[in-house]
Amino acid sequence: MDFERRAGGRDHGRPGGRHAVVVGGSIAGLLAAHVLAGQADRVTVVERDRLPEGPGPRPGVPQGRHPHVLLEGGQRALDALLPGFTDELRAAGAPRVGMPGDMVQWQAGRWFRRSPSSTYIHTGSRAQIEDLVRRRVLAHPAITVVESTDVVGLLGDASRVRGVLLRERGEGTRAAARPLEADLVVDASGRGTKASQWLTAIGAEAPHEETIDTGLAYASRVYRAVTGTLGGDALGYNIVPGPAQPYGCVVLPLEDGTYLLTFSGLRGDEPPTDEEEFVAYAKRLPHPFVHRWMREAAEPLSPVSGFRRTADVRRRYDLPGRRPAGFLATGDALCTFNPIYGQGMTVAAQSAVALRDALADGRRPPTTRRVQQALLAASRQAWDISAGADKQMPGAVGNAVATRAVDRATAWYLRRVQERVSGNPVVGAAFRSVVSLVSPATVLFAPRVARAVLFGPPAPAPAGPPLTRDARGA
């Protein structure tokens, strides 16, 4: 049966009706399942982990112990898919941090003034957000979950995917895989997706992959503030790395009143997981205030956790090739971003909105290629931000690091934007709306913004970290 052609009606001739399989119970997978439940009779989510009963870590989320932020674009998308979600998130205690008013931030050699906030991020744990999404989505009667099970291949051929091959975890590779037929398969299995192997095994063509790898690595640890706060009236700290200063640090509040502190560094000078060396790593930052907070006002509550897989990878399913109908990729299985930019959950939600809209488009049939193009388009702005910045980092490697003349001109303009973000409210609001994935990048070139960027002088920056809103520096 052609799932796409029958998207407007039920298939009463087949046992169980139309069936969609989603590979992966991640946020991207859950939201895709939620959308498909409005089109299919049955949706099966296949998850390799055993799902926790409440908010808890999963082995399949290797970055789960590191910072996750939900940008404003993601908040809007989640509310569109699951009405009232952000209210529920706030009620569960997820901190809401205003930018730039609540954040002490250093970037490109200057401190940011803590002017009134124009956007807000949620900084609770990944486990909390995923648990809230999971409970809302799995309440739908058409959605079921198969846990502790791997997808090891696809059913079908180069013209059409007709399901997946499953094997329970722990059975071993010699155990026979069992088939699960489906009219549509959506790969939401994350940055470790095996879809290229699955496709070539049925005679189809794997997607071209674009990659940029800066060699960036993380190390994170949970702290309790001795005084209960960071000091002053700030809710978080953010030292943003760049080509001239490659060390990063972020300190963000969690839903239980603790703080998650993360250092980042590039290849060859990665932040350590040894506890004493972790504290000493703070001395590499351009100001000692984070090191001072760690030594004098914070108590560690967890071991140090490291993370190394941070490359940008985009899989171009939208390009011509021998690919089957009935197979889509979304989330990190389609486009993986350097996690330092905090875009993953937001793009997962925006991609689910794009999937919903593409399937509901009554003007033309939602073919596999058209829907996949819509999913890629939903991730394009985040890719342009992440890849554009990572191309400038020293030591970046990959087949997408080359810069064109237009890239160099854009980089020159964006440097002028960043110099004026802190002191000019017009430029600042436009910039934050773009990086929050609320507005298209074209707003940075609107006449009012362009005049300020090209002809307005940058405002003087604070001399040191502004720990209070009216501070001129510490």
- Per-residue pLDDT tens digits for 236-264: 999 999 999 999 999 999 999 999 999 99
Report residue 306: phi and psi, to 5°.
-105, 160
Most confident of 355-364, 414-423, 436-445: 436-445
The CATH fold assigned to 216-307 is: Alpha-Beta Plaits (3.30.70)
> What pLDDT, on the 0 to 100 scale, is given for residue 178?
94
The SS3 assignment for 152 reads strand
**Contact indicator for 474, 466 with CB cutoff of 8 Å:** yes
> What was the pLDDT predicted at 470?
61
Residue 16's pLDDT band, with cuts at 50, 70 and 90, is low
The mean per-residue pLDDT over the stretch 368-390 comes to 96
Question: What's the confidence (pLDDT) of residue 473?
Answer: 41
Give CATH 3.30.70.2450 domain extents, the chain. 216-307
pLDDT at 360 over 50: yes
C-beta of residue 222 within 8 angstroms of C-beta of residue 254 = yes
164 contact partners, CB below 8 Å, separation of at least 6: 21, 23, 46, 151, 153, 154, 155, 179, 180, 182, 185
pLDDT at residue 471 greater than cutoff 70: no
Q: What is the mean pLDDT of the chain?
A: 92
The C-alpha atoms of residue 347 and residue 428 are separated, in whole angstroms, by: 22
The answer to whether residue 198 scores a pLDDT higher than 60 is yes
Kindly give the interhelix angle for 344-360 and 27-36, rounded to the nearest 10 degrees.
Answer: 20
Give the pLDDT band of residue 474 (cuts 50, 70, 90).
very low
For residues 85 and 54, the model is more confident at 85
- In sequence order, the 6+-apart residues with CB closer than 8 A to the CB of 263 are 218, 219, 220, 247, 248, 249, 271, 278, 281, 282
Q: Are 290 and 264 in contact (CB under 8 A)?
A: no
Which residue intervals of the chain bear CATH 3.50.50.60? 19-64+132-210+311-388
- Report the pLDDT averaged over residues 361-380: 92
CA distance 229 to 235: 8
- CATH tag, 19-64+132-210+311-388: 3.50.50.60
